[in-house]
Structure 1
Amino acid sequence: MPQKRLSVVVTRRLPEAVETRLSELFDVTLREDDTPMTRAQLAEAMAEADVLVPTITDQIDAGLIGQAGERLKLIANYGAGIDHIDVETARRRGILVSNTPGVMTDDTADMVMALMLGVTRRIQEGLLVMQAGEWQGWAPTAFLGTRLGGKRLGILGMGRIGQAVAKRAQAFGMQIHYHNRRRLRPEIEDSLEATWWESLDQMVARMDVISVNCPHTPSTFHLLNARRLRLLKPSAVIVNTSRGEVIDESALTRMLKAGEIAGAGLDVYQHGIKGNPDLVNMPNVVMLPHMGSATIEGRIEMGEKVLLNVKTFADGHRPPDQVLPAML
């Protein structure tokens, strides 16, 4: 008698190739439109499915996990970040959690450099002038920005993405500095020509550009708080492609408006899609709609990771990308 296929619920539209493969392997329920599920819809899915495939837009908290049915044994997250999932509560309920690490490293690092250039070279201001048909011709003092070569880059979080940013910044001639929970091995430090700072306060006070590349955890919430932001040089630029909660967005906004920080490139926001409205029209701020991993190749690779995790689980083994509370 053939084995019954796992019931899998996918909470958002995924690339067609990924959805097709999921449908071939499992009894899958796909979204018809690309809107987030409501809390009630998530609860219904978790009550009936064997596997839930959520994304960062789904808040899988203790309350929802408490309503999960006995069948739910795996939450196979489509994405690397898992701060929207209560992993500890899931573990206590006997529900495994997996993610998709590593596949968006290069894409996100590319976006870090794009935001750096966007802010320091005033690309957004130039675009707006051209789109409005207001350009009056070249002038020696128009749109003067600053070059990246020779500048000090302080990387907050030197994991896969942080190291990929460092490699790219090296090619631009930047000096690499970093703060991390653990110091890198000497051979990695040497290859990146990177300087480790044990004190985050001392590092941020001396940098020209800060790149936030650490995950959001209880210990990193508002790691760049108002006090720490005030340590930055007035000429400094902040780029955040990680999680909005790492920066006190209200304090950052106030300082940008006051000219106490030169600029910011933001792909993530403290309150999800609701970035501080005061940031929107600032000429020294480049804002993007969480596009760091938005490449066709990256999104398909994320789907392949999900497929591997679910298929491995279906075969009776632990998913290769299982997330444990101790890892957070």
Structure 2
Amino acid sequence: MTEKPVLWLPRRVSDATVERACRDYEVILNDDDTPGTPDEIIAMSAKVDAMMPCHSEHFSADVVSRLDPRLKIVANHSVGVDHCDLQALAAKGIVVTNTPDVLSDATAELAMLLMLGAARHAVRGDRLMRTGAWDSWSPSFMVGKQVTGARLGIVGMGRVGRAFAEKARGFDMDIHYFNRTRLSPYQELGATYHESIESLLPVADFLSLHCPATSDTTNLINAERMAAMRDGAILVNTARGALVDEDALLQAIKSEKLAAAGLDCFKTEPGGNPKFADHENIFMLPHIGSATTKTRDAMGFRALDNLDAFFAGKKPRDLL
């Protein structure tokens, strides 16, 4: 009887994923559900044939250089792979996959929540209700920014960006976007293409980020680009915290250059930026863009599909 490959799950994934994984693999679970440290990753590489990490496990060049030859594949339970040094892993002969497609709608839904919440003073309103401080009303009370009919700028028209655009059309938003390449008319659906982010910024009432974190996109939205945005615009980020210069964002909020921001990701995770908490017009969530039961099951199954293909001697669908 052929022995099952040994798989390490460093984080607690969905019950359905664990059940399927245990059926087809010898699984090592991390019952504490704490991020795998570099030392743990290195030690575990001598015990397993495969790993299914999340973005909380970091495969730096140093970590990869110390991995045991037994480890053959890193099947990420995420779309983003900025936690992996892909060049170092490739040089080591370790296959890397991710889980695209399946979380686009869930993340786009959260971007819509952040956009609406930031525009309509959700943080302040919730505080007033929970503390019993709502004791008056007037026509000037809690006046926010209307989403319907506004111009939406999208940076990055990949799967999530397109899913967000589709949902925004339900609010009759005028879609503008910047992408490395222009979409086909079929995918564009009437959206206005901008060849540079600089031409997009001045026209967007709302700016939503949906591009990956790379060396080229670190601090993509910096002080200079915030200055180029429309006065009173709102910034939404459900992609990666590295895209935004957080000091510049704080200054733009304090100066009222930006009316608000909706953020699901931060430079420091977990934890976020404690300075943001002083501003009720920064609506924050703890990086939960894909956190629905349906999506987490789909992510786990997509990662397992990649593992199944690899160990069957086939090319994984999401090979990077």
Distance 1:17 1:276 in 2: 34
Distance 1:199 1:71 in 2: 45
Deviations 1:71-106 (A, max 9, x none): 111000011111101111111111000011011100
- 2:262 paired with 1:265: yes
Tell me what 1:19 maps to: 18
Deviations 1:8-51 (A, max 9, x none): 11110111111111111011101111211222111111232110
Shifted more, 130-139 versus 114-123: the winner is: 130-139
Determine which of 244, 247, 261 is the counterpart of 1:250. 247
Tell me what 2:301 maps to: 304
Tell me what 1:86 maps to: 85
Following superposition, the deviation at residue 275 of structure 1 comes to: 2.3
Tell me what 1:39 maps to: 38
Following superposition, the deviation at residue 277 of structure 1 comes to: 1.6
> Aligned to 2:13, what secondary structure does the other structure show?
coil
List structure 1 segments (4+ residues) > 6 angstroms apart after TM superposition: none
Structure 2 letter corresponding to 1:144 = V
TM-score by length of 2: 0.98
**8 Å contact kept, 1:241–1:268:** yes
Structure 2 letter corresponding to 1:315 = A
Distance 2:129 2:170 in 1: 30
Structure 2, unaligned runs of 5 or more: none
Tell me what 1:186 maps to: 185
Structure 2 letter corresponding to 1:161 = V
Distance 2:171 2:66 in 1: 51
- 2:113 paired with 1:99: no
Tell me what 2:230 maps to: 233
Matches for 1:116-195 after TM superposition, within 5 Å: 116-189=115-188, 191=189, 193-195=190-192
Following superposition, the deviation at residue 135 of structure 1 comes to: 1.0
> Aligned to 1:155, what secondary structure does the other structure show?
strand
> Aligned to 1:88, what secondary structure does the other structure show?
helix
**8 Å contact kept, 1:46–1:67:** no
Distance 2:316 2:33 in 1: 27
Matches for 1:188-227 after TM superposition, within 5 Å: 188-189=187-188, 191=189, 193-227=190-224
Distance 1:90 1:41 in 2: 17
Distance 1:89 1:188 in 2: 35
How many residue pairs end up in the alignment?
Answer: 320
> Aligned to 1:34, what secondary structure does the other structure show?
coil
Structure 2 letter corresponding to 1:203 = L
Determine which of 288, 293, 297 is the counterpart of 2:290. 293
Distance 2:73 2:60 in 1: 15
> Aligned to 1:322, what secondary structure does the other structure show?
coil
Tell me what 1:314 maps to: 311
**8 Å contact kept, 2:42–2:68:** no
**8 Å contact kept, 2:223–2:248:** yes
**8 Å contact kept, 1:8–1:27:** yes
**8 Å contact kept, 2:238–2:264:** yes
Deviations 1:289-309 (A, max 9, x none): 001110000000001001111
TM-score by length of 1: 0.95
> Aligned to 1:32, what secondary structure does the other structure show?
coil
Structure 2 letter corresponding to 1:66 = S
Shifted more, 15-24 versus 93-102: the winner is: 15-24
Following superposition, the deviation at residue 194 of structure 1 comes to: 0.2
Structure 1 letter corresponding to 2:132 = G
Tell me what 1:7 maps to: 6
> Aligned to 2:109, what secondary structure does the other structure show?
helix
Distance 2:16 2:43 in 1: 26
Following superposition, the deviation at residue 137 of structure 1 comes to: 4.3
Deviations 1:235-279 (A, max 9, x none): 100000000101111111111122121110000002222422211
Distance 2:124 2:173 in 1: 24
Distance 2:272 2:197 in 1: 25
Following superposition, the deviation at residue 161 of structure 1 comes to: 0.7
Structure 1 letter corresponding to 2:185 = P
> What is the root-mean-square deviation in Å for CA atoms of aligned residues?
1.1
Shifted more, 173-182 versus 132-141: the winner is: 132-141
